[in-house]
Every structure is written in C-alpha cells, then in structure tokens.
Amino acid sequence: MAHLVRFLLMVLCHLVVGIAAGKVPFNWNEIKYVYVFGDSYSYVQGTLGLANFSFIGDAFNLSYTRSQLLSDELIYRYTASNGANWPEFLTGCFSGLPSSCPRQLWDFAFAGADIDPNLLPPHHNFSVQLTTQVAQYVTYAADVLPHPPNETMTAWWIGINDTGDTLNNATITDFNAFWEEEMSSYFRAVQQAHAVLSSTHVFFTVPPTDRSPSHLPVSSNSSQTLKQHILAYNIVLRQHAQSFAEANPGSTILIFDAHQVFTNILDNYSAYGFTNITGYCQCDDDSYFWYNTGHPTERVHELLALALEAQLLESSTEMI
C-alpha cells in the first residue's frame, strides 16, 4: 500500500501547474518561514486565538503586541479536522512556539473566512476575512516576524466558503462579473502582502466540495451548481495569478491544484486506504475521507501536504 501511495503522489505532482516570473531562485529546502492566509481548511489553533477559529485574534481583537505574537503557541489537533492539517504536516510545526520549529509556521487563516466582507456577508460578526487577515498581518506582524525573500513562502487557500456562500445568494445576477470582483479584491490583498512579505507565493485552487457529504448526491442541483461555481472560480484564479506573476517580475508564483488532488484521491480512494468517501465520521478512523459534512480528515491533509511538498521540491529542481 505504501509504495502505491507514493506512486500516486508522484502522479499528482504533475497535475500541479507552476508559474514562474523573473529569476529569483526558489528552493524549498531553503525555506524557513511559511506564512498562510485562508479559511478553515488552513487555520491552526493558537493559545491567543479564538477557540476553533484562529491562531491569533478575531474581528473584535485584531491588534496584538510583539510579545503576544511571539508568545502565541500552536495547540495540536485543534483544527477543522480534529487533527493536524496540511500546513502543520508541510512544515512539521505541530505545537508550541512557531519560532521553535525548524521551519516556522505563521498561520493567519481564520475558519469560515471569505475573501472580502464587502462582497459577501461574514459567517459571524467576529470573522476575519482574507482582506482583513492581510491588513492585520501588515499592521501588527510584518515588522515583528522574519521574512527574508529566499527563505520565505506564502500560501493562499481561499474561496471554499465564497463558492459555497454564493449558492443561494439572490443578489448576485452576473457570476462572471462577481468572480472578477472577488479576484480583484483577493489580489489587491496579495499585492499588499507581497510588498512586505515574500517573493514566493503558492495559490491553492478550490477543491471539489460539491462531492462533500453536505452536497450529495452529486446529481443534486446543489452539487451541480456548486461544481460550476468552483470551476468558474478556479479559472479566474489562474488568470489573476498569471497577471500577478507578470506584474511582479522577480517573484515565484505557483498554483497548487488542490481540486485535482482531491479529485484524484476521491476517484481512486481505495488506493489511498479510504473505504468511505460519501459519509463522514467525527472520529479517528482514517478510512473516512470526510471528517464532517464539509471538511476532510487528517489523513487527507497529510496526503495533500505530501503532494504539495513533492511539487515544491520539483519546482526547486526546475528553477535552480
């Protein structure tokens, strides 16, 4: 089983598309600082975060001091999958102070986040949307945390809630225009972070949550509509990532196709050791793909991190 999983992960790596602009070298082995912005698929719990939502702060507590940020500790297994998630597997930073990890993880993702509170209503009045996550980082963390260009990578995974929250939103009459508006806001935030953060950015596509238990059967109107939203979102994401790369020569811009990774695992689930991909189990049974109605299990996060790391190593080889 182990050798088959390794083989399939190698196949997945070739499904990931990379965009490189300029000549700044990227070498995953030299990356010491990983920054993350996003939603519940990426957030980690911190001792100074809102329970079940963030590493640090919330909409009512956006500010923090240098000492608070540097003393904030990761709490193991407090994620949307009740286990380690992909940034923890990727960095090996599972608990304690991020600064004590060999590869530091600074995760500003907030569970339930959309891109912009001006475009979609927040899930809660304490939610921190992506644009605010970036503003929070720039204001309170940028001058505190290290981010040398050749040793820093920033990962972005957002849009899972945006594509889902638009399902029954009657105020949106032109989805093509809406996704463009979303991406414009998204990449303004990326540009704001880029000005003070890193020259390497990895953008995740939205996975096929139309195949999650909350939207089954796949033939349902809900699943089919969500599928179309996700496909449209991912197309526009790629276009804007390309434009961002062209506008920022000297940067390394990668697209990690989480949608294809999830699809490959779901379509070949038995090869990865899964026995159930339609139900869910809020337990430690790693034979389930889904932990609850909308979030994958820890095992899926581990596979995702392995596929991402393989692509980062491959990109390093190609560029250096």
For residues 242-256, average pLDDT: 92
Confidence at residue 12, expressed as pLDDT on a 0 to 100 scale: 52
pTM of the model: 0.94
pLDDT score of 202:
96
pLDDT of residue 199: 82
Residue 13 has pLDDT above 50, yes or no: no
Predicted confidence at residue 108, as pLDDT, reads 99
pLDDT tens sequence across 172-227 = 999 999 999 999 999 999 999 999 987 899 999 999 999 999 999 999 999 999 99
Give the β-pairing of 18-20 and 252-256.
Answer: antiparallel
Phi, psi of 212 (to 5 degrees): -80, 160
Question: Where does 2-319 sit in CATH, by number?
Answer: 3.40.50.1110
151 has a pLDDT exceeding 60: yes
Tell me the average pLDDT across 34-53. Answer: 98
CA 232, distance to chain mean position in Å, is: 18
Q: Locate 39 and state its tokens.
A: 């939603």
| 1 pLDDT more than 80 | no
CB atoms near residue 122 (< 10 Å): 19
What mean pLDDT value characterizes the chain?
A: 92
Tell me: pLDDT of 236 over 60: yes
pLDDT for position 261: 96
The length of the chain, given as a count of residues: 320
130-140 vs 175-194: helix axis angle to the nearest 10?
Answer: 10
Residue 82 has pLDDT above 70, yes or no: yes
For a pLDDT cut of 90, what percent of the chain falls above it? 86
Mean pLDDT of 19-44: 85
CA 308/CA 229 separation, integer angstroms:
24
Long-range pairs of 165-168 with CB within 8 A, sequence gap ≥ 24 = 165/114, 165/120, 165/121, 166/120, 166/229, 167/222, 167/225, 167/226, 167/229
User: 250 pLDDT band (50/70/90 cuts)?
Assistant: confident
pLDDT at 14: 41
Tell me how far apart the alpha carbons of residues 302 and 294 are, in angstroms, rounded to a whole number: 17
User: What would the mean pLDDT of 163-170 be, rounded to a whole number?
Assistant: 94
What does the pLDDT look like over 258-301, one tens digit per residue? 999 999 999 999 999 999 999 999 999 999 999 999 999 999 99
Per-residue pLDDT, 92: 98
